[in-house]
Amino acid sequence: MLTPTQLTFLNHQRVARLATADKAGVPHIVPICYVVEGASVYIALDAKPKRVAPLRLKRVRNIAENAEVSVLVDRYDEDWTTLGWVRLDGPAKLIVEGQEHADALRLLRQRYVQYESMLPDDAVVIAVRVHRVASWGDLSAAL
Amino acid sequence: MLTPTQLTFLNHQRVARLATADKAGVPHIVPICYVVEGASVYIALDAKPKRVAPLRLKRVRNIAENAEVSVLVDRYDEDWTTLGWVRLDGPAKLIVEGQEHADALRLLRQRYVQYESMLPDDAVVIAVRVHRVASWGDLSAAL
């Protein structure tokens, strides 16, 4: 589903943005750390300070009401000939246990050394099943 | 509505992300250049290459169906103690003429020198009326 260039870009970038929407269709965005594996994007409800408990987060309540989400990975530069992005859309689900959950946490810890002290084994994982991929611009400019 | 720290952060950052959703509530994100003025965020449908005409863009069709949008301005750093973001939510409308339209184009050209050659006088402007502001983290870390 992903081209080698898209996958390299996704693995190279460090931050993405997750859009969810509630049942009334009101959108909401947060920055996310992420890892792409196969046809899924994994995001953890990590131990960065939050104002509410993980399962009360707006992103989680939105996914419970409306599973469709959009993940955008983009790169900005003042040279606008080198801009680029990849967008991954599809339904999300929460995963709290099992092999996929353990694998997602392992991949996130490998990718972000910061997670060594901030990602407990019982962290809730959002798995986005990528049904649609779009990309734009020069994905190889920054690699 | 915005604190001085939030406004300084918004003016310092150069790229944001806009989430819209269609009438079925399916969210969509794009990276945007933007300017904040008063209680509005202005975004132009500029002359960067697009795959479709400006008024056929998914963001525009979504706003026509569902005016509510979310704009996120965030800063990533590998030192996670310095992360921060500001989110601006509210209804969006398209502006194609008049004083507010001219003022928005002028402000965007002042902020982005790149627009000197890429922002025609008849560019469509998306105006987001900011009804809700949220922020998180250390907004002054990168200033």
Q: Mind listing the pLDDT tens digit for each residue in B57-102? A: 999 999 999 999 999 999 999 999 999 999 999 999 999 999 999 9
- Asked if residue B105 has pLDDT above 90, the reply is yes
- Asked if residue A59 has pLDDT above 90, the reply is yes
Q: What is the mean pLDDT of residues B27-32?
A: 98
User: Which of these, A113, A111, A131, A94, lies nearest to A16 by C-alpha position?
Assistant: A111
Q: Is A128 helix (H, G, I), strand (E, B) or coil?
A: strand
Of residues A5 and A118, more confidently modeled: A5
Structural contact between residues A16 and B11, judged by C-beta atoms closer than 8 angstroms: no
As a dihedral over the C-alpha atoms of residue A130, residue A136, residue A141, residue A143, rounded to 10 degrees, the angle is 0
> Residue A23's CB: how many other CB atoms inside 10 A?
11
Q: Is residue A35 part of a domain?
A: yes
Q: Is residue B62 part of a domain?
A: yes
Q: Is residue B86 part of a domain?
A: yes
CB contact under 8 A, B17 and A70: no
Q: What is the CA radius of gyration of chain A?
A: 15
In chain B, what residues touch A61 (CB-CB under 8 Å)? none
- Asked if residue B50 has pLDDT above 80, the reply is no
**Chosen from A12, A29, A48 to mutate, greatest number of chain B CBs within 10 A:** A29
The distance of B100 to chain A (nearest Cα, Å) reads 25
Q: Is residue A142 part of a domain?
A: no
CB contact under 8 A, B89 and A28: yes
pLDDT tens digit string along A19-36?
Answer: 999 999 999 999 999 999
- Asked if residue B51 has pLDDT above 80, the reply is no
pLDDT of residue B125: 97
Domain that holds residue B85: 4-137
Number of domains chain B contains? 1
CB burial string B49-80: b at 16+ within 10 A, e below: eeeeebeebebbbbbeebbbbbbbbbbbeeee
Q: Is residue B20 part of a domain?
A: yes
**CA angle at B132 for the pair A20 and A15, rounded to the nearest 5°:** 45
- Would you tell me which residues 18-47 of chain B have a C-beta closer than 8 angstroms to some C-beta of chain A? 19-31
As a whole number, the mean pLDDT across chain B is 94
Complex ipTM value = 0.95
Residue B85 sits at the chain A interface (C-beta within 8 Å): yes
In chain A, what residues touch B128 (CB-CB under 8 Å)? none
> Residue A143's CB: how many other CB atoms inside 10 A?
13
- Asked if residue B42 has pLDDT above 80, the reply is yes
- Asked if residue B21 has pLDDT above 90, the reply is yes
CATH number of the domain to which B30 belongs: 2.30.110.10
- Percentage with pLDDT > 70 across chain B: 97
Q: Is residue B82 part of a domain?
A: yes
Q: Is residue A58 part of a domain?
A: yes
Q: Is residue A125 part of a domain?
A: yes
CB contact under 8 A, A70 and B114: no
